[in-house]
Amino acid sequence: MRMPVSLARWAALLSLLGGCACCCGNWAPIGPSPDIEAADVVGTWVSDEGAKITLNGDMTFRTDDLTKCLEGEEGVGGDGEGTWSLGDPETLDPYQDLTLKYAPYGEHLQTWRAQEDEIVYVWGDTDNSEICFFSRTG
C-alpha cells in the first residue's frame, strides 16, 4: 500500500520541477542546447523586414538597416561593424548568446541569440521585448 504514496510524491516532485523549468525567465522556448561553433553561424543573415547582419570567419561583423526591425523607433547600432563572439550553450536553451561589439563603442544593450538556422535580435524592455528573426541567405 506504500506504493501509491511514493508514486504520488514522485509525481508531485516531477510536476514541481517541470513547472520550474517553464518559469525560468527565458524568453525562448525550452529545448536542447544547440552547441554550435562560430563557423556554424558565419555568413549573411537577413530578416523579413530587410535588416541584414554579416558574420565573418575572422570574428568581425557588419549590420545594415537594423532600424527596419525597430518598427519606426530609432535605435543605436542600426548600421555598424565590429567584432562578434558566440557564447557557450546552456542547458534547456535552444539558442546561444551572440555578442556584438560595435567599433569603437563596444557592446550595446542588444540581445542577439543564435542557432544553426536562425539568428534572433531582441531589444526593448525585458517584459515587453520586440524580436526580429534572421535567416541565412543563399
C-alpha cell at 19: 513547472
Q: In the structure, what pLDDT confidence band is assigned to residue 129 with cuts at 50, 70 and 90?
A: confident
What does the pLDDT look like over 98-110, one tens digit per residue?
888 887 676 665 6
* SS3 call for 31: coil
Q: In the structure, what pLDDT confidence band is assigned to residue 23 with cuts at 50, 70 and 90?
A: very low
Q: 3-7, 94-98, 123-127: lowest mean pLDDT where?
A: 3-7
Residue range 31-136 in CATH 3.30.1150 = no
Which is nearest to 88 in space by CA: 134, 28, 34, 44?
34
C-alpha cell at 40: 556554424
Which is nearest to 114 in space by CA: 124, 127, 130, 100?
100
Distance of CA 65 to the CA centre of its chain: 19
Q: What are the domain boundaries of the chain?
A: 31-136
Torsion of CA 122, 37, 49, 129, to 10 degrees: -10
